[in-house]
Amino acid sequence: MPQEQCAPGNSGNAGRPDSPGNSGNAGRPDSPGNSGNAGRPENPGKPDNPGRPGGDDAGAAECAFAPEGGRTDYDGGRDSLRAHSDDGIRIGNVAAGGGHFDDEGSTDPFFGEDGYQEHLAAEYSSITHENYLKWEFVHPEEGVYDFEAADAVVEFAQAHDMDVRGHALSWHSQNPDWLEEGDHSPEELRGILEDHVRTVVSRYAGCIQQWDVANEIFGDDADATIRDEENIWIRELGVEVLDDVFRWAHEEDPDALLFYNDYNVDGVNAKSDAYYDLVQGQLERGVPVHGFGAQTHLSMNYGFDETYQENLERFDALGLHTAVTEIDVRGDVGEDDRMNDEDRAGAAERFETVLQACLEVDNCNSFTIWGTLDAHSWVPGTFPGEGDATLHEGDYERKPTYCVIQRTLVEHQEGGDSWAEDAAFEECRGILEEAGV
Ligand code: XIL
């Protein structure tokens, strides 16, 4: 399958700096061990950002990681997903590494695998740190921040004209032991959280378009109870702390869209109702909350909720942005790590339905797939026996899931004739025909 080259003039792979303080970071804020803004370049003010409503443009920051001369245009091939994404819809994937790769002792694809960065740059117009921006990576010791990996991803995004979804500022999972097992008073915890949010958001001000400010705060019980046991912040500081987290983030980057993000909110249900009520109250109190993200981790072993679009629409009607933030569609796999043909076709249809829903909803402008190759996906390790959840397999061969996304985007932007006739889409036309999708 075609692999596009990096943008002309680009120096190539975003390499991981060899060691802290390495000259690869010249001109960047010091890392690690830096708390605060020391060394940060002054923000000269950001040019207008048309087509991206929300946030307050006044005084918005210039990304400190922008290459000289600002972001360069990047053109994926005509048959790439990013060639059919624009301000109305960004198509994203993850910078894979950390998390299950560490648990399995395998190499981080983003830093260590040939062709991985080229694939991302060729296909996608948005990127999410799969793990590198989570507390355990960025805040490994009390008072110590380590931005090495997170910076490299942001720099890569800038060099390849990609947006970044920042993930995540507060969560109950993947927190460092010093935090979870520490003996901090509520006042100390509040200070720690405020410092973290301000430090991280200000560092990437102007670079990160959407932030998952609070991740997975409601449970899976029938009442979608707030996680006031698992989530250290809510347990120790009360749910009111969320208002402050959004405010702190907004103060540090008034242009960034600030999101809630969760799974099992793929329709109108108890959990999405809980978000709706919470957000409505916050908006009434003037809290700067701007977005609702549906992770959309789907399985062919469960039904699909036909109210997916209706759910996004009701958040849109509240004045929020919406986003599909982590979509993958898994199912039971055989020896060949594939679902059966019927489930494969069903998975492709779900990707299509969700993308279509997002395209239909005005301020749903971001659609991120959680993983590139199946070999990289978190699914097989997390849901034993399931897999085949992504768009590519083997050596970046396109699956029907890839091709329905290509078709949906092309038909949306250029019309059915273009999809049906343009030679650029021949490969996918064949794949979909064979899959019966
Ligand atoms: C997953 C990562 O993909 C894994 O590498 C890691 O081991 C665990 O976390 N919801 C989220 C994501 O918000 O951060 C999770 O990512 C998947 C579920």
The pLDDT tens digits of the residues spanning 259-275 come to 999 999 999 999 999 99
336 in helix, strand or coil? coil
Residue 107 backbone phi and psi in degrees, to 5: -70, 145
pLDDT given for residue 76 in this prediction = 73
User: Taking 80 as the threshold, does the pLDDT of residue 12 lie above it?
Assistant: no
1, pLDDT greater than 80: no
Q: Is the peptide bond before 159 cis (omega within 30 degrees of 0)?
A: no
Dihedral of alpha carbons 49, 52, 53, 56, sign: negative
> pLDDT grade, residue 75 (50/70/90)?
low
Residue 366 confidence (pLDDT):
98
Task: Decide if 216 is catalytic.
Answer: yes
Please tell me the least confidently modeled range out of 37-46, 165-174, 295-304, 387-396: 37-46
pLDDT digits (tens, 9 = 90+) for 26-60: 333 433 333 333 333 333 332 333 333 344 445 56
State pTM to two decimals: 0.89
232 has pLDDT over 50: yes
Instruction: Report how far residue 240's alpha carbon sits from residue 305's, in angstroms, rounded to the nearest whole number.
Output: 31
Q: What is the pLDDT of residue 86?
A: 85
Is the per-residue pLDDT at 9 higher than 50? no
Question: Are the CB atoms for 277 and 284 separated by under 8 Å?
Answer: no
The answer to whether 351 and 403 are in contact (CB under 8 A) is no
Pairing of strands 364-369, 291-294: unpaired
Is the pLDDT confidence value at 64 over 90? yes
Q: Which atom of ligand 1 is nearest to the CA of 325?
A: 13
Is 4 a residue whose pLDDT tops 80? no
307 pLDDT above the threshold of 70? yes
| Ligand 1 atom at shortest distance from the alpha carbon of 377 | 3
360 tagged catalytic: no
- Decide which of 18 and 428 is more confident: 428
> Which residue lies with its CA nearest to atom 12 of ligand 1?
130
Largest interatomic CA distance in the chain: 65
| pLDDT at residue 48, rounded to an integer | 32
Going by alpha carbons, the residue nearest to atom 5 of ligand 1 is 99
**What single DSSP character describes residue 294?**
E
Name the average pLDDT for the chain.
Answer: 88
Does residue 215's CB lie within 6 angstroms of at least one atom of ligand 1?
A: yes
Instruction: Assess whether pLDDT exceeds 50 at residue 150.
Output: yes
pLDDT per position as a tens digit, 366-403: 999 999 999 999 999 999 999 999 999 999 999 999 99
Is pLDDT above 60 for 70? yes
